[in-house]
């Protein structure tokens, strides 16, 4: 996988087990043996219901939590070996996250243009004219500098703040943006606008996005590649169109049957996965025992068996 020069990150056998409690510790396997790669400018959707492990994968990529097993390599380098302050700073220059609630990212006491001052102060950004560069990045995300900069966060909408964060990522020439439920706070009309901007900006700047979502329709709308997660496992992976036209795993099939309208939030909890699906997955794994993860056509792979499935 890494031989392809367009690959910026490889995720190999990624596993995260959370331990909670001290006397009678409980272990939650939030992600298990997840593998995929991320290419320049590629938009990847990480799709699954609540509790399926999507955010965990995003946090592992962002080095916010420790990997239990497996590896993440950024441009060939194991990210667990990125430890000293200077290297970590360099990593965050190129790998960033935008979360569901943009208000949480901004300090309410400061005007929003401070996020730009901060990156110019902290990183050696190679722009001759700082204000011209900011203006161009804001143009790219359809924001008017005069109406945006100089405002406090509460004077802007969630969509405008998210677009500011995308502009910041573009200015920093980010390689990978982890966008966790990026647009779920926005109303339906703003959502499509932010998504279109994201797609256009990625293609123009070569920024890859890991787009974490509950929403299959949004996944289809934005992404080149889809990763379907179920109970911490990647159960289907590949070209978005191929998966959507020919879903194979029983869980993916169920998702397509239960698909909500575009932009609607998917609020089912993992505990509420219908009994039928659990049984169907069981039967599927039993019928395909020993097969594991198989590429069924170019750029479309499916988990056919999981001996630990319960």
Ligand X SMILES: Nc1ncnc2c1ncn2[C@@H]1O[C@H](COP(=O)(O)OP(=O)(O)OP(=O)(O)O)[C@@H](O)[C@H]1O
| Least distance between ligand X and beta carbon 267 (Å) | 9
Residue by residue, DSSP assigns 7-59 as EEEEEEEEEEEEEE-SSS-EEEEEEEEEEEEEETT-EEEEE--BTSSHHHHHH
Q: What share of the chain is helix, strand, coil (3-state, %, to 5)?
A: 40, 25, 35
Q: Considering beta carbons, is residue 55 or 160 the nearer one to ligand X? A: 55
Which residue lies nearer to ligand X by CB, 191 or 214?
214
The conformational region for residue 75 under phi > 0 = left, psi -120 to 50 = alpha, else beta, is left
Structure tokens at 40: 């320049």
For ligand X, the closer CB: 52 or 301: 52
Helices (H), the chain: 54-61, 85-94, 102-105, 114-122, 130-140, 145-148, 158-171, 188-205, 216-222, 240-245, 250-257, 275-287
Place of tokens 């949480």: 104
Binding site for ligand X (CB under 6 A): 18, 20, 28, 30, 48, 50-56, 214
143 vs 212 by CB, closer to ligand X: 212
Cβ 27 to ligand X shortest distance, Å: 9
72, 79 Cβ separation under 8 angstroms: yes
* Minimum distance of ligand X from residue 21's CB (angstroms): 10
Q: Which is nearer to ligand X, 56 or 160 (CB)?
A: 56
Whole-number minimum distance, CB 50 to ligand X, in Å? 3
**Residue 226 near residue 44, CB atoms below 8 Å:** yes
Shortest spacing between CB 20 and ligand X, in angstroms? 5
- Residue 53 or 247: which CB sits closer to ligand X? 53
Which residue's entry shows tokens 């300090």? Answer: 107
Q: How far is the CB of 125 from ligand X (least distance, A)?
A: 32
| Of residues 116 and 251, the one with the C-beta less far from ligand X | 251
Q: What's the closest the beta carbon of residue 270 comes to ligand X, in angstroms? A: 6
Between CA 169 and CA 20 the distance in angstroms is 34
8 Å CB contact between 35 and 14: yes
């Amino acid at each position: 996988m890494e031989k392809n020069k367009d690959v910026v990150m490889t995720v190999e056998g990624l596993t995260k087990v959370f331990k909670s409690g001290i006397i009678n510790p409980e272990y939650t396997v939030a992600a298990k043996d997840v593998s995929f790669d991320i290419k320049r400018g590629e938009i990847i959707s990480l799709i699954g219901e609540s509790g399926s492990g999507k955010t965990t994968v995003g946090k592992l990529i962002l080095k916010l939590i420790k990997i239990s097993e497996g590896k993440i390599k950024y441009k060939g380098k194991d990210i667990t070996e990125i430890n000293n302050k200077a290297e970590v700073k360099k990593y965050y220059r190129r790998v960033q996250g935008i979360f569901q609630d943009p208000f949480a990212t901004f300090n309410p006491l400061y005007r929003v243009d401070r996020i730009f001052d901060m990156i110019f102060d902290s990183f050696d950004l190679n722009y001759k004219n700082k204000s011209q560069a900011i203006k161009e990045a804001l143009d790219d995300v359809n924001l008017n500098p005069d109406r945006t900069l100089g405002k406090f966060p509460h004077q802007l909408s969630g969509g405008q703040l998210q677009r500011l964060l995308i502009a910041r990522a573009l200015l920093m020439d980010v390689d990978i943006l982890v966008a966790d439920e990026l647009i779920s706070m926005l109303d339906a009309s703003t959502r499509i606008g932010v998504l279109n901007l994201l797609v256009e900006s990625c293609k123009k700047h070569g920024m890859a996005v890991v787009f974490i979502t509950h929403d299959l329709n949004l996944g289809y709308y934005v992404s080149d590649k889809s990763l379907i997660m179920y109970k911490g496992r990647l159960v289907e992976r590949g070209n978005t169109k191929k998966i959507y036209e020919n879903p194979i795993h029983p869980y993916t099939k169920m998702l397509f049957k239960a698909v909500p309208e575009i932009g609607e939030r998917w609020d089912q909890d993992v505990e509420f996965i219908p009994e039928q699906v659990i049984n169907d997955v069981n039967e599927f794994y039993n019928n395909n025992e020993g097969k594991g993860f198989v590429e069924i056509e170019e750029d479309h792979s499916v988990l056919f068996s999981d001996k630990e499935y319960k």
